[in-house]
Structure 1
């Protein structure tokens, strides 16, 4: 009884430490990555911009990532108001939840002491703290894949198709945060179920094939929906060469990342524009006339003042989103 109480107290202390590191003076980080902050501001102006994750209010060009993490940030901004804190809040919370999920994962196999050490290591990892206090998608992706790992572990122990499908569903959601980065864990998931499930080899193979099908459907649903939309009715796909989300996922956000061929961009990457766009704004870095959004500069720092305010605030807080 005493040992169990000690473990619980230690876990609470670790979670409180994570909360402190993630939230202490979080407002001083401003809007985080201004490229994605500008996109969220634009997404709040219409359902069209929200669905296509448009970088600009005029719906001219998208950002270079899938929508799910930005949808979560937009929901936070809608609930709490558009501010630096509301954009960073989902990642800060996801960082704390990741610590708890990792503790439960490690404890399940190696015991509570190992779980506490793993949780503490994650809390104190500098890059983890940095990403938890930013609006990039990595923290939300980590939480999603940790939950997927929990599900596939239960699936392999029980031979459960339901838990296996839930795990690949989560990986598919992760794909809709940072595309192929979410798939780096897929071989390990597959091997764990293939070698650890108590079912016959035939049933394991059938389950894995069904899981692969679900994974592809969940992963590609939004990409295919965007690519099937006529180009004249949606924004140009930023950072793509062929105005295609699938090409962007496999190219700039996929193989080019692995081979080091992707071009660096402090604002989220290169944003190509369609060659036939002379009748529209010539560059996504120029907001449409009448917009209250001043797009960020890749080299600009976080706005001064608490909550991203101050004289250098690039976002006008006047007015409220008309649809979302």
Structure 2
């Protein structure tokens, strides 16, 4: 009972700390991505705009996403008024909830400390800190699948299907990337008869279709004249938006507004490159090594073994989603990799627990050494930012890895492993704190300090072509500023404030409009 009480207090501390990190200085980001914040404002003024995700209260055009991710923010603004805190706090609180779900998923099968480690990895992932304090369920689905697998529960499997379906209304086809692994895992490992598994998966699939399809059907049934134009589509079609522009077009870069192959850097190492590496890859190599090691160590376990099933759930999530992000030829931004954070966190927590239980200290030493070396390389990409940190991480981490090989007493091993964990988390934690301490605006944000290539400069904005504040067009397709560099009517010379990614993160930042433009709008010149 004392141990359980300590675990609960430790979990409370983790969640409170996560909340502080995600909420710290949140108002400094202003409207963050003003393209989506404008839709939040519109939804707070019109229930029709709320339902369709319209960019304006007059319901002329929607944003380029299905609207579920906007709904919590709209409800918050309706309750507390229009301000940056009301818009951004729901995202931060959902981030805290994601950390809690990762902890709960790991804790069911492993010691509390493993769940806490997984939760800490999730909380300190730089891109998670960025996106959960910015305009931005699948962790619920993973948890439900694991609960279903334990006893062959139909109810939990239906919950998983419903969660994935509703996630579709926030991130569309990206939410379906976990489906192959989840379905195959349950079909192979659930402790019930084969045809019962098939029937259960059919029910879960039906729940997913209903959860995702009700909104699509409603939009499709409303005459085009009675709803906003579907932004992001070329034919005013919600199916084209979901399956084309935000689906096939993202994969091949050619169809349905894919805008050609804009990402020549697509390849097997994309997640480790200058743009994405510092956002997500700190513990990615460790997660992959621990996945392979744990799968090998549990190879003789029964078919229904829940521990091995847990590794397959999170491992399939990481591998499938990671490969798609690496190889997709259409629009890709490094902040998409936030989708990998829960899988990496869970695999690290579970993998360290398995190696600890098997006393595989040599492998833990190798994982530690590899992680701190990679951390050093990532930190060296920002040579002018706390240059001492990379050296400290390398020295302390390699020292702990070496000591792990020679420690004999359990107390000494525990101390050395604790030091190793601190060294491995120091790099992403530093990036996380830097992210929380810096305002972020625009369509392409980036976590951490400036790096070479696609890094960003603190306080520097992106100059839209032409400067000045006179309008020369409207961004086609409503793509949140990802594909258009046309000039917006702004009073700040087209420059954004705060931090963004790729040197243009402030694109579509909310600048103060020129007095002339304000006067024209008030006089009805743009009606």
* TM-score scaled by length of structure 1: 0.80
1:103 touches 1:115 (CA, 8 Å); kept in 2? yes
Match status 1:181 vs 2:174? yes
Matched with 1:145 is 138
Match status 1:272 vs 2:477? yes
Match status 1:53 vs 2:53? yes
1:155 touches 1:163 (CA, 8 Å); kept in 2? yes
Which string of whole-angstrom CA distances, capped at 9 and with x for unpartnered residues, describes residues 8-55 of structure 1?
A: 332222222211111111111111111100011111222221211111
Which string of whole-angstrom CA distances, capped at 9 and with x for unpartnered residues, describes residues 100-124 of structure 1?
A: 1111101112221211110111111
Q: Which moved more, 1:12-21 or 1:28-37?
A: 12-21
Matched with 1:74 is 74
Tell me how many residue pairs correspond in the alignment. 286
* More RCO (CA 8 Å, sep 6+): 1
Match status 1:190 vs 2:183? yes
Give 1:67 shift: 1.5
Residues in 2 aligned to 1:259 and 1:251: alpha-carbon distance in whole angstroms = 10
Matched with 2:99 is 99
Secondary structure, aligned partner of 1:133:
coil
Which string of whole-angstrom CA distances, capped at 9 and with x for unpartnered residues, describes residues 189-208 of structure 1?
A: 21222122111101111111
Q: In angstroms, what is the RMSD of aligned CA positions?
A: 3.1
Matched with 1:122 is 122
- Which one has a bigger Cα radius of gyration? 2
Residues in 2 aligned to 1:298 and 1:161: alpha-carbon distance in whole angstroms = 54
Matched with 1:135 is 135
Residues in 2 aligned to 1:229 and 1:161: alpha-carbon distance in whole angstroms = 35
**Aligned to 1:235, which of 225, 228, 251?**
228
1:41 touches 1:82 (CA, 8 Å); kept in 2? yes
Match status 1:9 vs 2:9? yes
**Aligned to 2:153, which of 142, 150, 160?**
160
* TM-score scaled by length of structure 2: 0.50
Residues in 1 aligned to 2:22 and 2:174: alpha-carbon distance in whole angstroms = 24
- Cα distance change, pair 196–311 in 1 and its aligned pair in 2 (3 A): closer
Secondary structure, aligned partner of 2:140:
helix
Which string of whole-angstrom CA distances, capped at 9 and with x for unpartnered residues, describes residues 169-198 of structure 1?
A: 011110000101111111122122212211
Secondary structure, aligned partner of 1:110:
coil
2:91 touches 2:133 (CA, 8 Å); kept in 1? yes
Give 1:233 shift: 0.8
Residues in 2 aligned to 1:244 and 1:286: alpha-carbon distance in whole angstroms = 26
Secondary structure, aligned partner of 2:45:
coil
Matched with 1:249 is 242
Which string of whole-angstrom CA distances, capped at 9 and with x for unpartnered residues, describes residues 237-286 of structure 1?
A: 1010111111110111112223345346965996439xxxxxxxxxxx99
- Cα distance change, pair 146–270 in 1 and its aligned pair in 2 (3 A): farther
Residues in 2 aligned to 1:246 and 1:148: alpha-carbon distance in whole angstroms = 24
**Aligned to 2:512, which of 295, 307, 312?**
312
- Cα distance change, pair 15–163 in 1 and its aligned pair in 2 (3 A): same
2:102 touches 2:118 (CA, 8 Å); kept in 1? yes
Structure 1 unaligned runs (5+)?
137-143, 274-284, 288-293, 304-309, 317-324
Match status 1:34 vs 2:34? yes
Residues in 1 aligned to 2:105 and 2:75: alpha-carbon distance in whole angstroms = 29
Residues in 1 aligned to 2:493 and 2:165: alpha-carbon distance in whole angstroms = 32
Structure 2 unaligned runs (5+)?
260-330, 334-441, 445-473, 479-486, 500-509, 519-527
